[in-house]
Amino acid sequence: MQRKWSSRRNAAWWPAIPLLAVQMANGMREIPQFAFFLIYLQEQVGLAPPAIAAVVAGGQIAGMVMALLSGVVTARLGSKWMLVWGLALAGLSSLAFQVPAVWWVTVLWLIGGAGGALASIGGASYLTHLSVRATLGMLAALYALSLTIGAAIGNPMAGVLIERRGFGAFGWAALALSLAAILIAVRWMAPLHDHATEPVGLRSFWSDARLIAGRRPVQLLIGMRSVPTLFYGMLMVLVPLLLYDLSGSKVLVAAYGTTTLIVASATQLLAGRAADRWGARYPTLVGYAAIVLSGLGLSVGVGSVAGIFVFGVLGIAAAWALATLMYVWVADGVPKADQPTIFGLLHAVWSLSMIAGSMLGGWFVQSIPGLPFLLVGVLNVAAFFLTAAYYRNP
């Protein structure tokens, strides 16, 4: 019995449990905080929609800049401590609910955006360093699912708390969740000793980063990450608006959100399991095929509630599956020492692609809503060739 217990403790997934707990606690804080922060800016700070968009975009830009610097941070601290510092900085953004002055709110949100990028990249790097390749797909799916479960728990709790106690109490609760995540990470996440033995200078880091970014496999990864994210960013803007315009039903829009959450989460688990069993190449090609199909279906069925609903769910599920497979792509083709830099670069690519996709969807939502679905859906055909080229590289 003791031997069996020891074997289970040494299983490849066992050391990842604290990381999954950190991710769940972060999901309970981060996702509800973003949703209610927009309302807070409007109701309590008195900002107009353009100003709200500017504050949110500022946080995204801060995160993108920090993502590009994350490699040197990891070299100095290692993945675990980059995650811890990222959680700490992200937690400071919860103090924005205590200070209604617009400049303080903006500064705290920018700090939180930078911290969120560090936490995301630190967690991704820790996961790929911690896991053996045979279990990485499933662990990556569970890692992504932990954030979703945290959000599903946190959203209703946040709504009730704000209704009864106000935004200030919610801010303190969100900060407490950050502290809980930090405690779990510091106390139970194993140190990986993946930091550099000698200090890394910024100039030296940028020189190495340019060399890494110039490698063909990395350029292929950038394309593989970018094209589905463009489509995803567009879906996030267009599909809910189109569904509401056609049906006039908020209940239908909520049902769409719930359906995408369930289907996309299940798809992540299937993609991770398939990658562990057969490798990531073929599940990746299936994911891109689903996005192309979604784009074609939405372009044709843009005037149909059923068409938008079904093909929108398909597109979101495929994008989530590809986001899970990204961890396996990196593990398959990038040396462990370079992975933090690559995750930082891919996070920056994700940010730019999300902004571009959202803007593209916003431009065409009132004029030719089917056109961007067709264009970006067909663009994802290029990802078939990128994937084939990536997996031909040694």
Domain boundary among 151, 174, 200: 200
Specify the pLDDT at position 6: 43
Tally of domains in the chain: 2
DSSP 178: H
Number of helices (H), then strands (E), in the chain: 15, 0
Measured CA distances, 204 to 81, 208, 213 (Å):
21, 6, 14
State pTM to two decimals.
0.83
When computed from its CA atoms, the radius of gyration of the chain, rounded to whole angstroms, is 21
Q: Are residues 261 and 351 in the same domain?
A: yes
Q: Same domain for 21 and 168?
A: yes
- b/e burial code for range 253-262 (CB count within 10 A of at least 16 → b): beebeebbbe
Question: What mean pLDDT do residues 311-338 have?
Answer: 92
Which of 153, 182, 200 lies at the terminal end of a domain, its last residue? 200
Residue 245's pLDDT band (boundaries 50, 70, 90)?
confident
Whether residues 118 and 47 fall in one domain: yes
Query: Hey, which of 137-146, 244-253, 350-359 has the most confident mean pLDDT?
Result: 137-146
Are residues 295 and 382 located together in one domain of the fold?
A: yes
pLDDT tens-digit map of 151-165? 888 888 888 888 899
Over range 334-363, report the average pLDDT.
83
Whether residues 259 and 291 fall in one domain: yes
The CATH number given to whatever domain includes residue 113 is 1.20.1250.20
Residue 2 covered by a domain: no
Average the pLDDT over 114-131 and give the result.
88
193 backbone φψ class: left, alpha, beta (φ>0; ψ -120 to 50): left
Residues 132, 138, 141, 145, CA torsion sign: negative
**pLDDT for the residue 44:** 87
pLDDT for 199: 53
Residues 34 and 177 in one domain: yes
pLDDT the model gives residue 86: 94
DSSP 319-343: HHHHHHHHHHHHHHHS-GGGHHHHH
**Domain span at residue 68?**
11-200
Tokens representing residue 257 in the block: 């959100």
Check residue 208 and give its pLDDT.
59
